[in-house]
Amino acid sequence: MLHPFLRLLDNGVRRVKFAGSISAVKRGAIHAFFGLSLLAGASALLHHLEHERNTVARAEQLAYLPKGEYLRLAVLGYRQWVADLIWLQVVQHIGAKRDTQQGYRWTYHAVDVLTDLDPTFVAPYQATGIFLGVLAGRHEEGLAILNKGIRHNPVMWQLSFLAGYISYYELCNPVAGGQYLRMAAQVPGAPAYLPKLAARMTVEGGDPTAAFEFLDRFSSTVTDERIHGALVQRMKEIVQEKDLLFLEESIRRYRARYGHVPVKLEDLMLHGVIQQLPVDPLGGQYQVDYLTGTVSSSSTRERLRVHHKVACRAGAGRSRPPTWSNPVDTQLPVLQ
Amino acid sequence: MGAIGVIALNAFRESLRDKILYNLVLFAGLLIGLSVLLADLTITEHHKLIADMGLAAINFIGVIIAIFIGISLVNKEIERRTIYTIMARPISRTFFILGKYFGLVLTLFVNLSIMLAVFLVTLWLYHIPIGLSLLQAVQLIFVEILVVTAIALFFSTFSSTTLSAILTLGVYVIGHLTADVRSMAAKGESGTVKAVVDVFYYLFPNLETLNIKGQAAVGVLVAPEYLMLASLYGVVYAGVLLAGACAVFQQRDF
């Protein structure tokens, strides 16, 4: 037995078919109506499906990409085209900002595949190097992508420069950082400040001031606003970290002098331990924990990650005191 | 105008009546236009992305036109039985094949010129520098299309339209893989496999030698000698296929 709606539809169609009184215009209108109704239904279903499919599901697509060595055979002479399309997928995933550790892994895989297809495509090396190696904390993967980029594009000094930063500051390996920077300095057309920065890096492992200078120099070579914004954010985090370390050092001096931790940070200023309180570049407020003497910022909750990285400088066996112990020495450029 | 010229002009006019041609060229225009929208989604190197997509669209649509019109040129004449009226005239079968080929080549040249114009206008509108490397890439794309057209025409002289399409696509795919397969075989230890692969390598066209889209998109020029030799290779290979097509068509009964 036919569903009432189908019966109605069937009757309607019969009428359209057999009743000679209905003009061609009316028939066309009925067809258009049914067509549009079905299209609306399909659109509604699609809209529903889009909600069902979350960002992780989209990122999963990247995981199913075959290895570059096989894919490059399958795409015939359209390697660059396919590489561009994969890259656009990766960019959308990076831009979604709902990343998981698995998502990072898939991002690495996708960029590895697309750079197999088009090894001279520099943007993925650079952007993924920053994304994984600096922002997502997946330094080894970021460095691996950059090393691949350096191998295929030895004239791009920016890749060695970025690898130098990750080695130096994120991986606490000033020797490797210096090597990368010297490699970058040897590229014709590389900035003149690179050899000096390489020398300084080797001496001052883990110094946030040098790291800041690094990112400041690098961000000036980046034209894309999103990457530039991410680098500026990172620079602000480094300035904040420097401030927090400086305040904690000051609290230690205060404690040594008065036998207790100051109730509030302004006490440091009132008792002449510091001249002025630093301003949080991320717009938060610095607060002291009276029990532990540690300082935190209301603007960030991920201080420990950066702090531990900076703390690795202690193991570097440096003879010089850390530069942030003296605020006069740490004149960082003003962030916009 | 000689017999080849007359047949070529007629083949050109005939293919201009094919609606699929206009649809494909329109589609190429849309693809090139779409590349601008997609380029906005990427991070840096927008120029490269637009150039990549534009060149790929020109190549892809050019090959599709070459295959699908190339396979039907001779078969259409046979199906409509118009071949009898042509063969009844003092026109050799070789001239017929060559005329058909040059007619299609003229069509493809016009199509490619339209697609190139759309591509260059897109680049100009978005202030992307138009380098010589892009024109070099389009030159080799045209040579590749010459080879593909010759393959399609060769198969269409002795097989049905569908089979010709399948065989042409097959040779096109193989043509892009021979170099990779040869380098893989070179890593193996079997001398027989290497010898067989070598035979296939020289027997099938190496279409990858005509693919410089990647370096062209980033503005890297190829040496004029390479450009000339690669073009010559394509033309010579197309000549071999045309000679084969003429030989087969000569023997064919209607």
Question: Is A118 at the interface with chain B, CB within 8 A?
Answer: yes
- What local confidence, expressed as pLDDT, does residue A330 receive? 37
Contacts of B218 in chain A (CB under 8 A): 120
- The pair of three-digit structure tokens given for residue B50, joined into one six-digit string: 């637009």
- Greater confidence (B24 vs A257) lies with A257
Distance, CA of B234 to CA of B147 (rounded, Å): 6
Residue B19 pLDDT exceeds 80: no
Q: Report CB contact under 8 Å: A80, B213.
A: yes
Across the interface, of B44, B176, B214, the residue whose CB is closest to A224 is B44
- Residue B77: other Cβ atoms inside 10 A: 20
How high does pLDDT run on average in chain B?
Answer: 88
| Residue A23: C-alpha distances to residues A12, A16, A27, A32 (Å) | 14, 9, 6, 14
- What local confidence, expressed as pLDDT, does residue B166 receive? 94
Q: Report CB contact under 8 Å: A77, B176.
A: yes
pLDDT in tens, B172-181: 999 999 888 8
Question: Is A225 at the interface with chain B, CB within 8 A?
Answer: no
- Residue A40: other Cβ atoms inside 10 A: 10
A184-187 long-range contacts (CB < 8 A, ≥24 apart) are A184/A157, A184/A158, A184/A159, A184/A160, A185/A157, A187/A154, A187/A155, A187/A156, A187/A157, A187/A160
- What local confidence, expressed as pLDDT, does residue A97 receive? 58
Q: Is A271 helix (H, G, I), strand (E, B) or coil?
A: coil
Question: Is A155 at the interface with chain B, CB within 8 A?
Answer: no
Q: Find which of B43, B138, B208, B220 to mutate to test the A interface (most A CBs within 10 Å of its CB).
A: B43
**Closest-CA residue of chain A to B208:** A77
Q: Find which of A58, A78, A91, A219 to mutate to test the B interface (most B CBs within 10 Å of its CB).
A: A78
Q: Report CB contact under 8 Å: A78, B45.
A: no
| Residue A132: C-alpha distances to residues A106, A129, A176, B40, B222 (Å) | 11, 6, 18, 22, 35
- The pair of three-digit structure tokens given for residue B244, joined into one six-digit string: 């084969």
User: Which pLDDT band, with edges at 50, 70 and 90, does B4 fall under?
Assistant: confident
Share of chain B above pLDDT 90, in %: 43
Of the candidates B135, B79, B82, B83, the one whose C-alpha atom is nearest the C-alpha of residue B112 is B135
Q: Report CB contact under 8 Å: A77, B52.
A: no
**B106 backbone dihedrals φ, ψ, rounded to 5°:** -65, -45
Q: For the residues B210-231, what does the mean pLDDT come to?
A: 92
Sign of the alpha-carbon dihedral angle for A84, A90, A94, A97: positive
Q: For the residues B60-64, what does the mean pLDDT come to?
A: 91
Tell me the domain boundaries of chain A: 242-325
Residue B12 pLDDT exceeds 90: no
Q: Report CB contact under 8 Å: A78, B44.
A: no
**Closest-CA residue of chain A to B40:** A88
Distance, CA of B20 to CA of B177 (rounded, Å): 29
Q: B117: distance to nearest CA of chain A, Å? A: 20
- Residue A318: other Cβ atoms inside 10 A: 15
- Placement of tokens 């994120």 in the chain: A170
Across the interface, of A72, A77, A88, the residue whose CB is closest to B211 is A77
Question: Is A224 at the interface with chain B, CB within 8 A?
Answer: yes
Q: Report CB contact under 8 Å: B180, A73.
A: yes
B107 in Cβ contact with B25 (< 8 Å): no
**Closest-CA residue of chain A to B217:** A80
- What local confidence, expressed as pLDDT, does residue A201 receive? 66
Q: Report CB contact under 8 Å: B177, A76.
A: yes
Q: Report CB contact under 8 Å: A92, B217.
A: no
H helix intervals, chain B: 3-16, 19-39, 46-79, 82-87, 93-125, 132-156, 161-187, 191-203, 213-217, 224-251
- What local confidence, expressed as pLDDT, does residue B56 receive? 92
Question: Is A270 at the interface with chain B, CB within 8 A?
Answer: no
Across the interface, of B56, B180, B207, the residue whose CB is closest to A81 is B56
Distance, CA of A92 to CA of A97 (rounded, Å): 9
- The pair of three-digit structure tokens given for residue A223, joined into one six-digit string: 């034209």
Per-residue pLDDT of chain A (336 residues; tens, 9 = 90+): 555 655 655 665 565 555 555 577 888 888 889 889 988 998 888 877 776 665 555 656 677 788 888 888 888 889 998 999 899 888 877 766 555 777 788 889 999 999 999 999 998 999 899 888 888 888 899 999 999 999 999 999 999 999 988 888 788 887 788 888 888 888 888 887 777 676 666 555 556 676 677 778 777 777 777 777 877 887 888 788 888 888 988 999 999 998 888 988 888 988 888 888 898 888 888 988 888 888 888 887 655 344 445 545 444 444 333 333 333 333 434 433
Residues 6+ apart with CB under 8 A from A228: A219, A222
With vertex at residue B58, the alpha carbon angle to CA B57 and CA B61, rounded to the nearest 5 degrees, is 75
Q: A77: distance to nearest CA of chain B, Å? A: 6
Q: Report CB contact under 8 Å: B41, A126.
A: no
Distance, CA of A157 to CA of A173 (rounded, Å): 19
Contacts of A122 in chain B (CB under 8 A): 45
Counted residue by residue, chain B has a size of 254
Q: For the residues B94-115, what does the mean pLDDT come to?
A: 91
Residue B208 pLDDT exceeds 80: yes
pLDDT in tens, B118-129: 899 888 888 888
- What local confidence, expressed as pLDDT, does residue A309 receive? 52
User: Which pLDDT band, with edges at 50, 70 and 90, does B35 fall under?
Assistant: confident
Across the interface, of A80, A81, A123, the residue whose CB is closest to B43 is A123
